[in-house]
Amino acid sequence: MKINSQVIILRLIKYFLRSLLLRGPFQSVKLLLEESKNEKIYGIETREIVVHSSNSQFPYQACSYYVLKKILHELTPNTNFHFIDIGCGLGRVLMVAKHFGFRKLTGIELSSDLINKARQETNKHKSPDSELKLYCEDATLFNYPNENSVVFLFNPFDASTLKKFLTRLLEKNQHEIVLVYANPVFDSTIDNFPFQKVKTIKTNFYTEAIIYRKTTWVQK
């Protein structure tokens, strides 16, 4: 369900004030302006703040276009990889990744409310030159394809769930993995897995995302 307008306004104010502190005024204003502009460019509506029916404490909010496009510019050499968005929400990341040249895309989302809305958005933009699939499943139990993949996370898990997810991912996929962790609150968890940090994306001194590559996976 949607949050009422007063709560949305309060959350946006809180988000903007935090951004001012971390990114500075110029970048923060730019971030907000990019939201409306890019919804029109991509022809989607993904700005809703939505409460998960199973957990109202952690509402869904999409990765900002400003940050997302910074990340995707770094991934252009890997557009032949399978792009997988974990906690895909309303489908924003998938749709923008498609515009950046990814042709095989998968979204995984636990909330049936969000995945249904994502289907409505992505169905507007079906094309014969790309394949986009959405699954309402638990990402820690999903059967990940065993192929070169870009895996995108916008801080969807706490540390313990992130550990379960990474274990499952690496058990299923022995090919190359580019792991993108946006808003990397629990990045120290990834240090316990065979990923090499290859790029840190920052705005001023604030870390927006970390990009990793999988090295050799050894089951412990």
108 and 203 part of one domain: yes
**Residue 149 CB: number of other CB atoms within 10 A?**
23
Residue 189: inside a domain, yes or no?
A: yes
> What is residue 138's predicted lDDT score, i.e. its pLDDT?
97
> What is residue 80's predicted lDDT score, i.e. its pLDDT?
97
Q: What is the pLDDT along the chain (220 residues), one digit of tens a residue?
A: 444 556 656 666 676 777 777 788 878 788 788 888 888 888 888 876 555 544 444 456 789 999 999 999 999 999 999 999 999 999 999 999 999 999 999 999 999 999 999 999 999 888 899 999 999 999 999 999 999 999 999 999 999 999 999 999 999 999 999 999 999 999 999 999 999 999 999 998 889 999 999 975 555 4
Task: Give the CATH number for residue 118.
Answer: 3.40.50.150
> What is residue 11's predicted lDDT score, i.e. its pLDDT?
65
27 and 93 part of one domain: no
Residue 169: inside a domain, yes or no?
A: yes
> What is residue 55's predicted lDDT score, i.e. its pLDDT?
46
25 and 115 part of one domain: no
> What is residue 40's predicted lDDT score, i.e. its pLDDT?
87
Strand partners, 55: 52
Provide the domain limits for residue 189: 66-214
Q: Kindly state the tokens that stand for 70.
A: 């910074």
What lies within 8 Å, CB to CB, of 14 at 6+ separation is: none
17 and 44 part of one domain: yes
48 and 110 part of one domain: no
174 and 85 part of one domain: yes
Residue 220: inside a domain, yes or no?
A: no
23 and 70 part of one domain: no
104 and 123 part of one domain: yes
Q: How many domains does the chain have?
A: 2
Residue 112: inside a domain, yes or no?
A: yes
**Ordered alpha helix ranges (H), 53-178:** 65-74, 92-99, 112-123, 159-172
52 and 75 part of one domain: no
142 and 162 part of one domain: yes
208 and 102 part of one domain: yes
85 and 152 part of one domain: yes
Residue 219: inside a domain, yes or no?
A: no
Distances (CA, A) of 144 to 27, 37, 42, 73, 131: 36, 34, 28, 25, 16
